[in-house]
Chain A
């Protein structure tokens, strides 16, 4: 982080904010402010340039056509590449997760180039759409409690050698590859299929992003009572058959 202000960038609310994922930006912003940080949140519409000096970038899910439009505009813009080159943290969900990879299948049924910021490739699943509560164990190297979320996708995402699966699914589908992986990450870029929004159900991940951006090992505690109650309820729900 370059000065005392945390710059939080919410990418393309006009295209990729369909499943409540702007909640992720709200949660990060709230938890940063609770730690006394000055937060500047920038919402970038798809006809505006992506700022390159942000600390944390968040991208949400969207429908198939907006996803293609977002990928076209982010490729053309190039700002997110430069931001990642500058060391920014990126957290992406569903359609946004697919866009960060090398390629995905667009609304026209064609292969669409992604941004290549995360070593994943997405294809369209042949089976039923994955819809419902998910419970997964996060990669132990990250030292985070279990992942709870709500998935709603047709995509299947394969994780390449330069990324690690974010989590291993106990209930639900996740990446849909049949090997039980969910999401992917490298040093600074994260992707997941989880909505909920996912950071409202997993505030520890929000804190992890803040720690990476601030380059600190710990943050002052905040009152997590309602987050914890919600987590317990949704974890129990995920283990029940639908």
Chain B
């Protein structure tokens, strides 16, 4: 903000201060980081605070069903090559959390890299006037309370129509292509999407999508995969000039290489070359404990967060090969969605040969699921028992949202 007049009105300054006070009180009371409560207090005092805080920043918004927290971190790290960045790095991705994160910005911040919950993308875009919007993937998630997946795509499509922002979008996800193709300026990225079961019918006309190989198209209306200018190819990013840049990440898996590819495309929008962006991305480590390897009872446990069928599918593809032991933990509390039916949309034959241990509030749903999948599994009361029973080697621990928080608390991470 150097050289510009202070964009914050006295009311906005008061709101920021009040928000910080509320956050500090919340932290002192041991109720989390306080970023959400702080943001709520501040927004109440000044509803336009988010818009004011975003002024003067080159804002990028990141939204998706899966991978938005990690991708936000990758983009933020890449853009630091070009200037100071403010970001909601802790994953508080609704307006209050975003406001709180931006309130921490220093005057020197040039870029805002903001993860946004799918439901709030259009509202936050209206407030923050983004230069870039990154759309990664959409799939079923928390169907007991969330809007239908296609309705989310429709909402994005309407809200982004005619936007000034450059939209960086995954050409391999038909719902993302539907959402993005109302925008005048789209950079298509072939980022892949293993999960296909939410996009068999054409988002445009309802016809059945044909999906030969990596391509897809509607045989009825002609809606089809756009030609990408960026692509993930194995361990490399292909840029629009056809150059291949190696991806070196500490984060595992195909999905994170896809996130890095989209992040490189975003970085290029702001003039950061892919080589520089990708080198910086190597520094991104575990995000909020995700992918962390921790020690527990003398064993190595790798903690993997996966919240929905698409996430479980990607996660099954990155774990160490059999006979690596696998712990699965599932809860169905409010933040997880209270319906566990999604467990049946996951293909467990990918766990063939792994000894499996199940825990969590809904371990019996998992038990029946694995019994029907004819897998070998043991039902455990808690993590301690599962670790005790697991054969030697690093243990892969896959958990959904609150189950993951429970595990982190138990291992002191």
Contacts and interface: CB of A to CB of B under 8 A. Distances in A.
Nearest to A232: B364
B339 A14 contact: no
A172 to B, nearest CB: 13
Contacts of A132: 338
B341 A20 contact: yes
A98 interface: no
A102 B200 CA distance: 27
Interface stretch (A21-29, A116-124, A135-143, A156-164): A21-29
B201 A22 contact: no
A66 B341 contact: no
Q: Chain A contact residues: over half helix, strand or loop, or mixed?
A: mixed
Contacts of A23: 341, 344, 369, 372
Interface stretch (A184-192, A195-203, A211-219): A195-203
Contact of B344 (A20, A66, A233): A20
A19 B341 CA distance: 6
A226 B371 CA distance: 8
Contact of B140 (A15, A18, A26): A18
B29 to A, nearest CB: 27
Interface residues of A, number: 34
B210 to A, nearest CB: 9
B227 interface: no
A47 B206 CA distance: 11
A230 interface: yes
Contacts of B365: 200, 230
Q: Of residues B339, B340, B341, which shows the largest number of chain A Cβ atoms within 10 Å of its Cβ?
A: B341
A233 B364 contact: yes
Contacts of A15: 200-201
Given A20-B341, A131-B144, A226 B364 contact: yes
A229 B374 contact: no
A79 B140 CA distance: 30
Given A152-B339, A226-B364, A65 B208 contact: no
A69 to B, nearest CB: 5
Interface in A19-76: 19-23, 26-27, 30, 45-47, 63-66, 69
A196 B149 CA distance: 20
B174 to A, nearest CB: 12
A15 B367 CA distance: 27
Contacts of A47: 207-208
Given A46-B208, A150-B341, 12 more contacts: A13-B200, A20-B344, A20-B345, A63-B150, A131-B338, A150-B144, A150-B338, A195-B339, A226-B367, A226-B379, A230-B364, A230-B365
Q: Which 9 A-B pairs have the closest CB atoms?
A: A20-B341, A23-B344, A14-B200, A20-B344, A47-B208, A230-B364, A226-B367, A63-B148, A30-B372
Interface of B: 140, 143-145, 148-150, 197-198, 200-201, 206-208, 338-345, 364-365, 367-369, 371-374, 379
